[in-house]
Every structure is written in structure tokens, then in C-alpha cells.
Structure 1
Amino acid sequence: MNIKRLFMVLLILLAGCSADISDYRSEKPTFDLFGYFSGETRAWGMVQDYQNKQIRRFEVVIQGDVVGDTLTLHEKFVYNDGERQTRTWRITRNPDGTYQGTAGDIIGVAHGNTEGNAFNWRYDMEVNTDNGMVKLHFDDWLYRQDETHVFNQTSLRKFGLEVARVTLFFAKTPAQAQ
């Protein structure tokens, strides 16, 4: 096999690698997405480039409102360089237990699944970079640690290759936890 073909085979194999949501089926505590994000949640995060260099830090305050099978998340970001962003997600719980969501800067519809203590959320977004706007695929994995904490790892991919990673730590005060 020539080098070009070997590279293409490896690229295809690596692009398809991801954990399976069913791997977390028996993990506790169970992640109730709507219950956890109802009310105010705070988070702290960072963005790392493809070399794992931290390139940004941020804080976010999230206000979640549940009406029926819809969770609306109002997110307010403040970055270490002073930039501020807002995003409003509208997430619907489908009859089959999966989730769909939209937000102003999301391309199309986000799709999610939950099992045990994990929630996997996938979507495309146009991201402003030094080289202009770039469409990236986000593969979010959220893990419920306990009643008040959730960890989040997100892989940002372009053409199947990871170009950045986002790490978040969510916290609620015990009085806010459900």
C-alpha cells in the first residue's frame, strides 16, 4: 500500500473514533439534562489549540427555563480578553428520549443522546478565527459528576481532524441542584 493510501485509511479511521453513549448506561448519577440546567448554572472553561496550548479562557452564566419538553438556555460568556458573547439554545426532548436543539450561531440542528451520567451533543457552528469564519463540527461530551458538578469535553473538528478542544466545568450551588 502506498503512503497516500495509508494516510487516507488512517484519516478515515481516526475521524470515526469516538466513545459510544451506551458505554455510560450504568454510570451514576443519572444525567437529567433538563433538571440539571433548570435555573442558574455557572461554568468556567478554556479553549486549547491542536497542540494543546491554552488559547482562551472564559466564564459563563447560564439561565435555564423548562416549559414542557423544551429547555431554553440563555448563556452569557465573558472571555479573558474582555470579549462578551451570548447564545440562546432551545432544546427539545423527543418522544424517543433523544434531544434536538437550535441556537442563532448553530448551523442546522444539534442532536443529542443521554445514557447514565453522560450526554453527547453534536452540531456544526461557524467560528470566528484569525483567518475569518470557519465551519467546525462540535462533539460535546458532558459527564454528571455529582448533584452539583458536570464536566464537559468538546472536540472541534475540521475535515475530520481535531483542530481545538474546549474543557468546561459546570457548578450549581447545592440549593440550586435537583
Structure 2
Amino acid sequence: MINSTYANEAEEFDLFSYFQGETRAWGLFEDRFGVVRRQFVVQIVGEIKAGELTLTEDFAYAGGITEQRIWRIRRTGDCDFRGLSEDIFDQAVGHRDGNTLYWRYTMKIHIGGQWWRVKFDDRMYMLPEQTLVNRARVSKLGITLGTVSLFFKKTNS
């Protein structure tokens, strides 16, 4: 069930218009015990063509590791979205409620020398001044592994 308590407290979040152009994000992953395991910065370029939002995300992790993810996102209704990326199993499914986007997907990630299939349950909150906060619960087999926190800011506004 969607908790829309906060959803109507600020302007509506328009996923396509927010991510069109350049955006920068700062984030970290905390394990289930609250220990910060990874920090990173993401440079994002969004482009809309033929009703599809393409997000090119370039990650730079503390320690010098880099990674790129390319999302292709389509609207499937007024407030609903589907997204694809090479490391996503099936599709990501999203629903917007006011200023909040709920985004769920299963992703292949590299942990401790092996590939894991984990679930992400994201909640993205639009704040004033083109700031977006994302909290994602990461789990495997129903067990919480940790939380990703991301803070986005437009760089071309």
C-alpha cells in the first residue's frame, strides 16, 4: 500500500522533466546494522525521445571504481512507469503519487566477488529547489541487506 501522507506536501514530481538534462547525485549504502559500506557520486544525463526517457548514469565510487548504467523509462499511464536496464531482471515498475515516486525492481549487483540478485524498493521525494531525495531498501529473499540514500540536484537549472 502506498503511504501518501507526504505526497501532497510539495509540488508534483515529474520524472521526465526532472531528469531531462544534467543531474548530479551523491549517495551511500548502509548495511542493515547502519555501517556505511560505500559512498559514491553519480553524473546523470537524461534525454527524451519518442516518449522514452533515457538516463545515462555514470557512477564514481570511493576508491576509484566506476560504473555506468543506462535506463530506458516509459510512461504506462498518467502516474505509472516501466524501466529497463541491462542489470535489471524483467522490468522496474514505478508509480507516482504527488511528489513521491515508488520504484521497484530486481537488480544484479557484484558483492564480495560474486553476483547477487537483490530487490530494490525505492521511494523518491521531490523537495523544493530542484532537490530530490531517494531512499531504497535493498533485500534478498525477504531479508534487508541495507539502505541506499541518494540526494539529487539539477546541474543545468
- For Structure 1 versus Structure 2, the TM-score category normalised by the shorter chain is over 0.9
Distance in structure 2 (CA, Å) of the matches to 1:71 and 1:111: 14
Q: Which has the higher helix share?
A: 1
1:45 corresponds to 2:36: no
Alignment partner, residue 27 of structure 1: 9
AA aligned to 1:47 is F
Supply the AA of the counterpart residue of 2:63.
D
Q: CA offsets per residue over residues 130-174 of structure 1, 9 Å max, x none?
A: 15111100001100001410001000011112111100000014x
Root mean square deviation, CA, Å: 1.5
Q: Distance in 2 between matches of 1:45 and 1:148?
A: 17
Deviating runs (4+, > 4 A) in structure 1?
none
In the alignment, what sits opposite 1:109?
91
Query: How far off its partner does 1:62 sit?
Result: 0.3
Aligned to 1:140: 122
Is 2:113 the partner of 1:123? Answer: no
Contact in 2 for aligned 1:100/1:111 (Cα 8 Å):
yes
8 Å CA contact 2:107, 2:118 repeated in 1: yes
Which segment drifts farther, 129-138 or 30-39? 129-138
| 1:94 and 2:66 correspond | no
CA, structure 1 residues 26+135, in 2 after alignment: closer, same or farther (shift >3 Å)?
A: same
| Whole-angstrom distance in 2 between the partners of 1:102 and 1:143 | 21
Counterpart position of 2:39: 57
Partners in 2 of 1:25 and 1:49 — Cα distance? 27
What is the TM-score with the length of structure 2 in the denominator? 0.94
Name the CA distance, whole Å, in 2 between partners of 1:115 and 1:66: 22
CA distance in structure 2 between the aligned counterparts of 1:68 and 1:25, rounded to whole angstroms: 29
Ranges in structure 2 where 5+ consecutive residues have no aligned partner: none
> What is the CA-CA distance between 1:26 and the residue it aligns to?
2.2
Q: Which has the larger radius of gyration?
A: 1
Which consecutive unaligned segments of at least 5 residues does structure 1 have?
Answer: 1-18
| Residues matched between the structures, number | 157
Kept after mapping to 2: 8 A contact 1:21/1:113: no
Using structure 1 for the length normalisation, give the TM-score: 0.83
